[in-house]
Chains A and B, each alone.
Chain A
Amino acid sequence: MKDIIENIQTKFSISEVTKQRDNQYFISVEKKDAVQVVTYLKDIEKFSNFILLTAVDWIEKGQFQLTYLLSDPINKLDIGVRTFIERENATMDSAHHLWEHTATFQRELKEMFGIDFPGSPRVDEPFLLEGWDNIPPMRREFDTKKYSEETYFPRPGRTTNDPAEHMKKKLYPNEKK
């Protein structure tokens, strides 16, 4: 696996290499190189299987982190390709031409994070959230609790107790401050 990493390093600029296990590495590349690196890994280094594409919202940095996870099922090797993209008007090159099902992951990221992949088939169609009328819910500024309070009804008759208050009521009800 080490020689594969060395091979990539001769062709692309890699900012970080993390060894997770002997057969699993993560590499960080620039946005402009990411899809090229993935293409290289598929065509030259035999990482024929695309496992997933996922995103993390680094709201403090104003960036999204994308991770492409690929595997070589014959030699049982995994590699993750990480890249940062701007959070504002987030756009990334599509990789659906490499594996058809990448489009599904890209459609999911469009819906959940608002990251656009121009040219990716059906990228604007709803994936899970039919009729969603709010900001993409996986963005960290989305207030899940506020949304659910505004959208759903509390269960009638639901009660809870504060331990300290409850103990006062049960153990020393007459004590005042």
Chain B
Amino acid sequence: MSLKDILSPLSAWRNITREPVTIKDPLNDRPGAPRYRGFHKNDIEKCIGCGTCETICENEAIDLVEVASINAKNGDSGLRPLVDYGRCCWCALCVDVCTTGSLTMSNEYTWVSNNPEDFRYIPGVDKKSWDDSELGWKKPDYDLIPAGRIDMEELKPADREGTFLEIVRGYSRAQAEKEADRCTECGLCISACPAHMDIPGYIKAVREGNMEEGLRLLYETNPLPEMCGRVCTHKCEEVCAVGHSGDPLAIRWLKRYIADQVPFEEYKRILGIQEIEGNGKKVGIIGAGPSGLSAAYYLRIRGFEVSIYEAKSKGGGMTMYGIPKYRLPINMLDSEIGFLEEIGVKFEYETRVGEDISFDDIYTKHDAVFIGIGFEKPYKINIEGENMPGSLQAISFLDDINKDKTVDVGKTVAVIGGGNVAMDAARVSKRLGAEVIMLYRRRVEDMPADQEEIHGAYEEGVQIYQQTIPVELIPDEKGKVKAIKYLKAEMVADDKGGRPRPVPIEGSETILEIDTLIGAIGQEADYSFLPEKYSDSIQTDRGRMIVNENNQTNLEKVFAGGDAVNRTADAISAIADGHRAANGIEKLLLG
């Protein structure tokens, strides 16, 4: 043994005064790094239960479970993620993909419990000490789901004057597939759609390039996809999970893409309705609008003999006569209606019920009747001079334009109203070369019109005078419209908690010189075709027929749908009404 071997242990003593490098209380003194991926946190108010976290989890560590305090509602499934820490590998993909950014991770990583069940919990619901921790992993600033929608090619605003060419060009295959690729298939959109279309299903079909499957899925719940793919109010896009952190999926354009790809001649084969075996029952439908056409399709494919009575010379209802061609080319609707004719739906055009045929006649001839008459009669603006020449109603104005009639609106047009019909009237007048001013009594943000319509109107140079109340039309020496007098209004908060009301400001009269006034403040149903013995039995509430969950009225064999029934007053709700009524009629007549 050398001297060194004896002395070296003693040299260790020199370390006795050194600061130790170890930590005294590692559980408390050693916090995770600021971006550490520790236990999950979830802002349950922000979370919408889309389940994208569950889908991405490689370890199947996440289950979506019901939470007592949260109910399913539009845009929120009411479910919340439960994390199993026996499976979680802390990769944080769930946080990175979270569509709302509600799911994050704390930097807490130590937790002791004797009960293994404790390690399965619902972040945000089951309270934990790290719920308020500021530090930890958060969604990084790149997106696993591309935030931007694939741009839709559109006719430039400057090129729109003087033409009714369709504005939206439609997606190419590459564009559609790329857009479809952004869908997480969460399905929150399905319940937001009045017709509950299988949206994730048909988007998947786009992604896989399977147009036939796509068309089948569309027709399961909607026999007018060409039309809806263009003008639907797309409630689905409002709740799209992806829309919480970027643009919502272009669901409507993808639907249009499918419908555009498949030629109408192929429909029968793809939808499997080559031969229809009749069941001997007859159904009469009043009105060839979206609700009537939808009811007709679902009844016809189940073997009913279906006749549609339509006052006008073409089908489509308001979508045919009210929607300008730059949003919906007429041949699209014609082809969809043509397909219904092909499968055996009979159309009696230019047959106004109550004039050309009595309701009684239809009622007795058929085993069931569906009323889809829509809101045809425009409301009057109720101002002095309303009936003078140069004062028009938007509905008939749009109808004339779609029929290619020449309408001279002059140089300046005032449109009264703030709904989609008002927007259509304004944008059509603009195309006729007029200066267009919209008078709306509330603010732009209160307008019931779709955002994109308002945006389109602005783009095309329509001016919107908000908080203006028309009071009088002033005629020229020939008795034709020369000017409109209006009052400015201030918005007054409603004591009862409703939306603010416009109240005219005294002495604010303004005169605006115009050539044409177009009224578009809403429409109502015209029930004059119903003889008393029926109109007494069919209950209505503020102009709308009251129906049960099968869209059945008080009269057992009379069903109804569309604008004259539902409050949403859009095509897709009408289509859903028609479908429900068809199911109801089938149940009534076939059991």
With A159-B63, A167-B191 as known contacts, state yes or no: A177 contacts B221, CB within 8 Å. Answer: yes
Per-residue CB contact flags for chain A residues 151-164 toward chain B (1 = under 8 Å, else 0) read 00001001111111
Asked if A132 lies at the interface with its beta carbon under 8 angstroms from chain B, I say: no
Residues of A within 8 A of B220 (CB): 177
- Nearest A residue to B73 via CB reads A171
* A167: B residues at CB distance < 8 A: 72, 77-78, 187-188, 190-191
Are A163 and B77 also in contact (CB < 8 A) when A175-B196, A175-B580 are? yes
Establish whether residues A162 and B66, one from each chain, have CB atoms under 8 Å apart when the complex forms: no
Point out the residues of chain A lying under 8 angstroms from B66, CB to CB.
Answer: 161, 166
Task: Tell me whether B71 and A163 are in contact (CB under 8 A).
Answer: no
Q: What DSSP secondary structure best describes chain A's contact surface? A: loop
Do A164 and B64 touch across chains, with their CB atoms under 8 A apart?
no
A21 adjacent to chain B (CB < 8 Å): no
The reply to whether B77 and A166 contact each other, CB–CB distance below 8 Å, is yes
B583:A170 contact, CB within 8 angstroms: no
A146 interfacial by beta-carbon distance below 8 Å? no
Given A163-B50, A164-B190, check contact A170 B65 (CB 8 Å). Answer: no
Residues of A within 8 A of B71 (CB): 170
B54 to chain A: closest residue by CB: A160
**What residues of B have a CB within 8 angstroms of the CB of A177 in the complex?**
220-221
Task: For chain A, residues 134 to 177, give those with C-beta under 8 angstroms from any C-beta of chain B.
Answer: 144, 155, 158-168, 170-172, 174-177
Q: How far is the CA of A144 from the CA of B73 in the complex (A)?
A: 37
Complex: how many Å from CA A164 to CA B66?
13
Nearest-neighbor residue (CB-CB) of B82 within chain A: A160
Check if B63 sits within 8 Å of A163, measured CB to CB.
no
Q: In the assembly, what is the distance between CA of A162 and CA of B186, in Å?
A: 8
What would 9 more interface pairs be, CB under 8 Å, given A159-B63, A164-B77? A160-B63, A163-B77, A163-B79, A163-B187, A164-B186, A165-B187, A166-B66, A167-B77, A167-B191
Give chain B residues whose Cβ lies under 8 Å from the Cβ of A158.
63, 84
The 7 closest A-B pairs by CB, nearest first: A164-B187, A163-B77, A160-B63, A170-B72, A167-B191, A164-B190, A161-B64
Question: Roughly how many angstroms separate A36 CA and B505 CA in the complex, as a whole number?
Answer: 90
Distance in angstroms from B548 CB to nearest chain A CB is: 11
Determine the distance from Cα of A138 to Cα of B186 in the docked complex, in whole angstroms. 31
A-B contact pairs, 27 of them (CB 8 A): A158-B84, A159-B63, A160-B54, A160-B64, A161-B79, A162-B51, A162-B64, A163-B49, A163-B50, A163-B64, A164-B186, A164-B187, A166-B66, A166-B72, A166-B77, A166-B78, A167-B77, A167-B78, A167-B187, A167-B188, A167-B190, A168-B191, A168-B196, A170-B78, A171-B73, A174-B549, A175-B580
Task: Mark B193-210 against chain A: 1 for CB-CB distance below 8 A, else 0.
Answer: 000100010000000000
CB-nearest residue of chain A to B71: A170
* C-alpha spacing A172/B194, complex, angstroms: 10
Q: Which residue of B lies closest to A144 (CB)?
A: B58
Shortest CB distance B36–A (Å): 22
Q: Bound complex: CA of A176 vs CA of B84, how far in Å?
A: 35
The size class of the interface chain A forms with chain B is 20 to 34
In the bound complex, what is the Cα–Cα distance between A144 and B59 (angstroms)?
A: 9
Once bound together, how far apart are the Cα atoms of A137 and B188, in whole Å?
37
Q: What residues make up the interface of B, taking CB atoms closer than 8 Å to A? A: 49-51, 54, 58, 63-66, 71-73, 77-79, 84, 186-188, 190-191, 196, 200, 220-221, 549, 580, 583
Residues of B contacting A170 in the complex (Cβ-Cβ under 8 angstroms): 71-72, 78
Residues of A within 8 A of B (CB): 144, 155, 158-168, 170-172, 174-177
Give the residue of B65, B73, B191, B583 whose beta carbon is less than 8 angstroms from that of A159.
B65
**Closest B-chain residue to A164, C-beta based?**
B187
CB pair B191–A172 under 8 Å, yes or no, is: yes
Chain A residues, CB < 8 A from B65: 159-161
Q: How far is the CA of A172 from the CA of B190 in the complex (A)?
A: 11
Nearest-CB residue, chain A, relative to B81: A160
**A166 vs B190: C-alpha distance when bound (angstroms):** 11
In the assembled complex, the Cα of A153 lies from the Cα of B240 at a distance in Å of 36
User: Is A163 a contact partner of B51 (Cβ separation < 8 A)?
Assistant: yes
With a cutoff of 8 Å between Cβ atoms, the chain A residues found around residue B50 in the complex are 163
| Interface pair B583/A172, CB less than 8 Å apart | no
Contact of B79 among A166, A168, A172 (CB under 8 A): A166
Measured in the bound complex, the distance between the Cα atoms of B138 and A78 in whole Å is: 29
B200 to chain A, nearest CB (A): 7
A162 to B65, CA, bound (A): 9
A155 close to B84 (CB less than 8 A): yes
Least distance between B209 CB and chain A CB atoms (Å): 23
Given contacts A170-B78, A171-B191, contact A163 B583 (CB under 8 A): no
Provide the residues of chain B in CB contact with A174, threshold 8 Å. 549
Min Cβ gap A55→B in Å is 20
Q: CA A154 – CA B50 in complex, angstroms?
A: 24
Residues of B within 8 A of A166 (CB): 64, 66, 72, 77-79
Please measure, in the bound complex, the distance between the C-alpha atom of A19 and the C-alpha atom of B568, giving whole angstroms: 60
CB distance from B54 to the nearest CB of A (A): 7
Residues on B with C-beta less than 8 A from A162 are: 51, 64, 187
Cβ–Cβ < 8 Å partners of B49 in chain A: 163
CB-nearest residue of chain A relative to B63?
A: A160
Q: How many angstroms between the C-alpha atoms of A77 and B442 in the bound complex?
A: 68
Q: State the Cβ distance, A161 to closest chain B Cβ, in Å.
A: 5
Give CA–CA (A172, B192) in the complex, Å: 11
Residues of A within 8 A of B54 (CB): 160
Contact A164 to B79, CB < 8 A, known contacts A158-B63, A175-B196, A175-B580: no
Complex: A177 Cα to B576 Cα, angstroms: 10
Cα distance A163–B80 when bound, in Å? 10
Q: What residues of B have a CB within 8 angstroms of the CB of A163 in the complex?
A: 49-51, 64, 77, 79, 186-188
Complex alpha-carbon distance, A160 and B200, angstroms: 19
> Which B residues touch A165, using CB under 8 A?
187
Instruction: Please determine whether B583 and A176 come into contact, CB atoms closer than 8 angstroms.
Output: yes
B583 partner residues in chain A, CB cutoff 8 A: 176
Contacts of A160 in B (CB 8 A): 54, 63-65
Given the known inter-chain contacts A159-B63, A175-B196, A175-B580, please indicate yes or no for A164 contacting B72, CB distance below 8 A.
no
Task: Assess the B78–A164 pair: CB atoms within 8 A.
Answer: no
Cα–Cα, bound, A170→B72 (Å): 7
Query: Closest approach, in angstroms, between the C-beta of B178 and any C-beta of chain A?
Result: 23
Note all chain A residues with C-beta closer than 8 A to B221.
177
> How many Å from the CB of B80 to the closest CB on chain A?
10
Distance in angstroms between the alpha carbons of A160 and B188 in the assembled complex: 16
